[in-house]
Amino acid sequence: MDTAVEYAAQAASLLINGEVKMTVSDGFLNIAALFDAAAIPFADINALIYNDYAVTVKTDGGDYSFSNMGQWCGPFYDALCAAYNQAVLRSLFINGDPIATANGDYSHSEGDAALNGAAPMLVYDNCVVSLPPDLNARRVPLCFVNGMEKADFQLTLKLDTGESYSYAKLGYDTSPFAETIERQIRALREKALSMAMTVDPSLAVP
């Protein structure tokens, strides 16, 4: 069994302060000071922020700030985001490895709400997932996509529900990302047609 990496930091929060040691597990950020300890469930985390060599973990119960980590600040943030993203994927009932990945900017239009930011984007068999380090993660079912627009380094998916999801600044990953989505949409439509023909053979094209 792999031993969890232990990170040292200066903590500031309502519950725990001073020098702490931290480890990242599947469902928690574990924090231990000399006389106090806390475990933050990923389910309680609203956002992860990396700024000015410090990491802030925003929760419903208040913010936790971790600084004085030196060169370990970046690796700690990356490990925390990776574990948080895995927890988000589990909450979205997504298992297995993605078919394609990219990093860039997202812009989601959902009714009167507009969300945007930077995030990893993952393509699975039947959906596209964006994973920003906050509560704006989205799973876009490919079976609901009824339109696709491609531009330089940008892709927009339009759903039959009226929502739209754009992925931009993907660099050289733009074409592979778009091609994978197109391939999966075709596969889903062919599967749906095959199932429909099983029920009603008259749907077969002569």
Q: Are 99 and 124 in contact (CB under 8 A)?
A: yes
Q: What's the rounded mean pLDDT across residues 88-101?
A: 94
In a domain, 47, yes or no: yes
Number of domains in the chain: 2
Regarding whether 64 and 111 lie in a shared domain, the answer is no
Residue 85 sits in the same domain as residue 145: no
Shared domain for 117 and 86, answered yes or no, is: no
| Mean pLDDT, rounded, for 49-74 | 96
> What's the pLDDT at 189?
84
Q: Are residues 82 and 120 in the same domain?
A: no
Q: Is residue 194 part of a domain?
A: yes
> Mean per-residue pLDDT for 52-68?
96
- Identify the pLDDT of residue 21: 97
Domain endpoint, select from 91, 115, 145: 91
Q: What is the pLDDT of residues 147-179, one digit of tens each?
A: 999 888 889 999 998 999 999 999 889 999 999
pLDDT at 30: 97
Query: Are the C-beta atoms of residues 146 and 159 closer than 8 Å to each other?
Result: yes
Q: pLDDT-derived band of residue 1, with 50, 70 and 90 as boundaries?
A: very low
Across 184-188, average pLDDT: 92
Tell me how far apart the alpha carbons of residues 44 and 53 are, in angstroms, rounded to a whole number: 23
Of 51, 110, 120, the residue nearest 84 (C-alpha): 120
What is the span of the domain harbouring residue 127? 100-203
How far is C-alpha 78 from the geometric centre of its chain's CA atoms?
A: 13
Q: Is the pLDDT of residue 193 over 70?
A: no
What's the CA dihedral at 141, 78, 133, 107 to 10 degrees?
-60
The larger pLDDT score, comparing residue 86 to residue 1, is at 86
Q: What is the pLDDT of residue 38?
A: 93
**What is the C-alpha to C-alpha distance for residues 108 and 125, in angstroms, rounded to an integer?**
21
Query: Could you write out the three-class secondary structure of 18-70?
Result: EEEEEEECCCEEEEECCCCEEEEEHHHEEEEEEECCEEEEEECCEEEEEECCH
Question: Which residue from 173, 120, 181 is spatially nearest to 156, judged by alpha carbons?
Answer: 181
Domain end marker among 67, 91, 115: 91
What is residue 200's DSSP assignment? -
Q: Do 48 and 106 belong to one domain?
A: no
Per-residue pLDDT, averaged over 99-110, amounts to 93
Looking at residue 202, its pLDDT comes to 60
